[in-house]
Chain A
Amino acid sequence: MARLDKVESGKHFKKRVLVGRLSKTNGKLVTPKTAPFIFIAPAVLLLFAFTLYPVISSFLLSFQTLVEGERVFSGLDNYTRLFHDPLFYQSLINTFQLLIVQVPIMLFIALTIAVTLHSPIVKMNSFFRISFFMPAITALVAASIIFMILLDENYGLVNYVLSLIRVEKIPWFSDPLWAKVAIIIVMTWRWTGYNMIIFLAGLQNIPHELYEAASIDGAGKISKFFHITIPQLKPIFIFTVVLSTIGTLQLFDEPFILTEGGPNNATMTITLYLYLNGFKYFDFGYASAIAYVLVLIIGMISWFQLKLVGDRD
């Protein structure tokens, strides 16, 4: 399909050039030929001004180190140090563990809710939609305090409720495994509704005719789900997977606020480690090196995910 698109727009392109020539004779500056450049100009200029410079500058910083408050060139030191830093590897492992467990759980729940809400059986759609979306719009300050108190080992509401069904107190933040579970719970709480809305959008965009045609062919509900809904949702699904992957690889807020990377670095993520090095230990060069290794990792994984499903865009 994508290729077809290109051919098509190529055809239009020729037409456009024609129209462009026409308008030029009228002495216009804005022609179909120059228009795209004018349309992207604000975005590109802003990007050049406020993104490109900081990115280049921080990239250069990754080859420098701070001595007595002055920046000194240090070659690849920061990068070689990185490859021998056990804590960096641990943060890498932690981040990937969270990624592999959390993203599928979250997307599965999100899809289930979206499909349920999409079915004609459910009324009060907007009430449910806004309810599920609420966590995504919470101020982080509020969310963090809420969960600190809810998940407190001794006095938290969650353990209190669990004790009613005779489950022993769970050491949410002091046990390495449970701390990861706690982070996963909070991430899932925060972002499931967000992804659910995206899925819901995808579901509503599936043409009714497809289902109707299938009905005529005598397909059952389940067969329709697997033969129409799932394939039609594929692009959306890829989209949420890529977004959630990037989001999780950059995971910072939850461990920063809830566990500070502990206990014993069990919830230390890559960006948290980056932040600690930069802002707590003032090692900005090293922090930058971590950041660009992370960019490389994210780039490779996103590329791989897109390739895996056939490059669409």
Chain B
Amino acid sequence: MKKVKHLPFIIGILSCLILASCSSGKNGSNNVEGKTAGEITIWGWDVAADTLELATEKFNERYPDIKVKVENFNSDDVYEKLTVGLAARGSGLPDVLLMEDERIPSYTNQFPKGFVNLSKLGYDKYEERFSPSKVKSVKNDKGEFIAAPWDVGPAGVFYRVDYFEEAGVDPDSIKTWEDYIEAGKKIKKITGTKLLPIDISKYDGVFHMMLQQQGVSYFNEKGEAAITSDEAIRAMSVIRDLYKNDLVANIDGWDGIVTATVNGKVASVPYGVWYTGTIKDQAPDQKGKWDVFYLPKFKEGGTRYANVGGSSLLIPSSTNNKEAAYSFVEFFTTDVETQMLGFKKYGLFPSLLKTYDDPFFNEESDYFNNSKIFQMFAESVPEVPPITITKDFARASRTVSNAQAAVLLEGESVERELDQAEEKLENEIK
């Protein structure tokens, strides 16, 4: 009889385990009845996830039988989960997924069967509705749509109106990077403020903007490393000159950039349009003190336009409800009203060109010195040069950041460091 006494213990453990597994949520969409019904799950982050959530209402007016569920993660966490899921042969993934454009090539290259080819579902007919640079970033090397374009980050230089005025610098007079450096020297002398923040050893965002405005990237069209191009040397030399003149605030990470901005430690920040939201959120008291101008040019050529960031929607092949997922992606990326929703509420700048006709773009922003900043950004979108991004973007960016640190902090020569960086990169990706 003694045996019975121990039974509760064993049963206890077992039932705990079973209970735990029962009290769990269901995963995903199981009922595929008809073409456009069922439940789909979307992974996104931050305000983009909020926008997707907002959009479900109008989406359901058109597709009442598709239930949409949006899960909000940190963007790094989405990639982590996605990587694990894809590596486990497409398990546990959502039906629709948000991804930054620069990551698309690495995922589609490594997991070619991982995502639904949108061209095959008819997305090609929307090609004309987006800017060429955005279209290029969401297609694979065969020219097929792998992702549906959503937001873009046209670049500009955000600047402090009061500092510029105090130093007597006219922002309209800044045409080239040389002008920018001269203006910076003046501002530094009179206000004591540095010109711009750069996370020297970890982030080469400014460098990449400079490449893109000249129409190139880390790679040539064949996808080979090309960071010793004239364009690259020019770009890194400007950054070196900025640093040599003590105009660069070497900050740490995203929080560092925000800190520098909020505390007025820098007179300008070259960044993507979405930075407007950040400035407004974190420094509400600096209303009227900020404005924007286009990136300065290189006197050797190129444009004043570039793009920082931007994201798109993908459908993992493991979805049980491809039709419903595509319906959502198609609706979401091509519906003007929906795109304006995300822009007005959260500052996610649409790549759908038709949205730019909306009167909202013509409005003056009182926070930004009553300028029509959004119109300005909108006008630049179709002009942004398309560039080649490859699967090795992350490695390239890392390698260049290291070179940037060596040039700026250790005073090495630009040519030598970029040479070495290219060699390193070639070794890593071959």
Contacts and interface: CB of A to CB of B under 8 A. Distances in A.
Interface of A: 28-30, 42, 66, 68-69, 145, 148-149, 151-155, 171-175, 179, 259-260, 262-265, 278-282, 284
B113 A262 contact: no
Interface string B234-257: 000000000000000111110110
- Chain B interface, DSSP helix/strand/loop, else mixed: helix
A148 B402 contact: no
Contacts of A69: 86, 110-114
A264 B252 CA distance: 15
B259 interface: yes
Nearest to B255: A148
Interface string B379-397: 0000000000000001100
Contacts of A145: 255
A151 B2 CA distance: 63
Contacts of B80: 279
A250 B287 CA distance: 47
Contacts of A28: 2-3
Contacts of B37: none
B85 to A, nearest CB: 12
B176 to A, nearest CB: 27
Contacts of A149: 255, 259
Given A69-B112, A152-B256, A282-B83, A175 B6 contact: no
B200 interface: yes
A1 B13 CA distance: 38
Interface residues of B, number: 36
Nearest to B108: A69
B338 interface: no
A149 B249 CA distance: 15
B252 A153 contact: yes
A155 B83 CA distance: 36
A155 B256 CA distance: 8
A148 B405 contact: no
Nearest to A284: B87
B255 A174 contact: no
B252 A151 contact: yes
Interface string B199-212: 01110000000000
Of the candidates B201, B395, B401, the one having the most CB atoms from chain A within 10 angstroms of its own CB is B201
Given A155-B260, A263-B409, A282-B83, A148 B252 contact: yes
A203 B204 CA distance: 52
Contacts of A179: 201
A154 B402 contact: no
B201 A264 contact: yes
B324 to A, nearest CB: 25
Interface in B257-283: 259-260, 263, 265
Given A152-B252, A172-B252, A29 B3 contact: yes
A154 B6 CA distance: 64
A144 to B, nearest CB: 10
Given A175-B409, A262-B202, A263-B202, A66 B251 contact: no
Contact of B256 (A66, A148, A278): A148
